[in-house]
Amino acid sequence: MEALVDRQQGAATIPAVLILLGPPGAGKGTQARMLEERFGLIQLSTGDLLRAAVAAGSEAGLAAKAVMEAGGLVSDEIVLAILKDRMAAPDVKAGVILDGFPRTAGQAAALDALLAEAGQRVTAAISLEVDDLAMIARVAGRYTCADCGEGYHDAFKLPETSGTCDKCGGTAFKRRADDTADTARARLEAYHAQTAPLIAHYRALGVLETVDAMGSIDAVASDLGSIVSRVSA
């Protein structure tokens, strides 16, 4: 992969395969988009890819829809097929931030194998550390711009002008079908049962980093930016 440039510092760094680990509401999507802008990395969100498949009515989307609405995990087979397809696109050569992937031991092993085929490995797996209870409020208050996807929150991140997206000026907003308090609880359970054990996997590989993600969005972004600069230097 080609050299990365920190757009805030102007410093040259090497390309990276970064993983953001964390329960629903931890800020993976929010922070991935900020890192994308700052470092020119590409955000790969399996949640977004699956929602696109659901909206397109594809076979994978039809199979995923009910599982996602119940807060469970979509099968490794479907997720890996969608991710491998996206990883084959030329833009990922700029370096990637994996947001919401891997989520199971099988997905982590498949990612390690996929990267090994290309002579690469995970640069860093960054665990966003949060309190579960606060995550229910974060998820239940979330909404996004229907035009550009910019994320907002009823209490924590309002548009500067009420009803108008800061980024694109759009005036239509939407909420996810799985952003109810009940589904958020099911998603938290799935995270602790199937995804949190990956923290030990990445610790054993020597690539685990942790961030206190209970601070403000900007404070977390600053800590993450320092890690990305360090691990990709």
Does residue number 211 form part of the binding site for ligand AP5 (CB under 6 A)? Answer: no
Does residue number 73 form part of the binding site for ligand AP5 (CB under 6 A)? Answer: yes
Q: Which amino acid is at 24?
A: P
92: DSSP letter: G
Does residue number 149 form part of the binding site for ligand AP5 (CB under 6 A)? Answer: no
Contact 187/22 with Cβ under 8 angstroms? Answer: no
Among 24, 61, 95, 225, binds ligand AP5 (CB under 6 A): 24
Does residue number 26 form part of the binding site for ligand AP5 (CB under 6 A)? Answer: yes
> How open is the CA angle 121-123-124, to the nearest 5 degrees?
130
Q: In this structure, are strands 142-145 and 151-153 parallel, antiparallel, or unpaired?
A: antiparallel
Which CB contacts under 8 angstroms, 24+ apart, belong to 137-141? 137/25, 138/25, 138/27, 139/24, 139/25, 139/179, 139/181, 139/184, 139/187, 140/179, 140/180, 140/181, 140/184
Q: How many Å apart are CA 52 and CA 103, to the nearest integer? A: 19
Q: How far is the CB of 121 from ligand AP5 (least distance, A)?
A: 19
User: Known binder of ligand: residue 51?
Assistant: yes
Token pair of 61 as six digits: 């989307």
Respond yes or no: is residue 142 known to be catalytic: yes
Respond yes or no: is residue 175 known to be catalytic: yes
Binding mask 50-69 for ligand AP5 (x = CB under 6 A): x----------------xx-
Q: How far is the CB of 26 from ligand AP5 (least distance, A)?
A: 4
Annotated binding-site residue numbers for AMP: 46, 51, 72-74, 100-103, 107, 176, 187
**Which residues are catalytically annotated?**
28, 103, 142, 175, 187
Annotated binding-site residue numbers for Zn(2+): 145, 148, 165, 168
Annotated binding-site residue numbers: 25-30, 46, 51, 72-74, 100-103, 107, 142, 145, 148, 165, 168, 176, 187, 215
